[in-house]
Copies of this chain bind each other. A is one copy, B any other.
């Protein structure tokens, strides 16, 4: 998922597959819920259902961490919570900076889900002088002039970018130069980073477009079905009276 210039070959970190790492937070969430209900042990089948995955996959995932289960019984919930937390590095505190305190940045700052997992908003940074000093989520916004100092003073290694896309790369460059080695990017841009820096992106627009693709496919199948019976009206999705699937390109190739 790292979108750096050089494509790192999936660096199976210390033997734990990337796909497994991506599921550990899911397991952890389900386990935390069980822990709060004081459930002592859980079977792979139950936990898998709670996490929305296959039980075989879950057992294989856990096997990468070690053999923490007891055959015939299941897994000890508390113990597993600790092991996964430790594996994910959540037993330590991760100071995070958010750069670009607009609509989205402010929403993230207000989000309680951060602190609950060992992530602490160490600073909010914005380039707008009018924002500097304002309190957002109980934290004073600081001007981006001091970005480097803020990063180094707080020992920040994780940065969140919620600036407009036009400045995302330069913000990224400054973060990296200041010592940040993990970036969560909300701006719809491809970021170039040096080796050793991880970038993950959250792109709302892409998610919607993927949904639209499947939605269109579903509508197409439905239409084909209706067509097979008779030339029936579409019913849903006729908000515009444009043809559902024009075949004539807007511009022909040269």
Contacts and interface: CB of A to CB of B under 8 A. Distances in A.
Contacts of A22: 206, 210
Number of copies: 2
A204 B70 contact: no
B209 A24 contact: yes
Interface in A24-44: 24-26, 28-30, 40-41
A183 to B, nearest CB: 8
Interface residues of A, number: 95
Given A104-B111, A209-B88, A253 B188 contact: no
A87 to B, nearest CB: 7
Nearest to A87: B213
Given A26-B206, A206-B22, A207-B202, A217 B13 contact: yes
A89 B119 CA distance: 38
A108 interface: yes
B205 A117 contact: yes
Interface string A231-250: 00000111110101110011
Given A70-B254, A82-B250, A182-B215, 12 more contacts: A25-B206, A76-B254, A79-B253, A87-B213, A89-B216, A92-B216, A94-B215, A103-B110, A117-B205, A117-B209, A182-B214, A200-B207
3 smallest CB-CB distances across A and B, nearest first, come from A89-B216, A52-B190, A103-B107
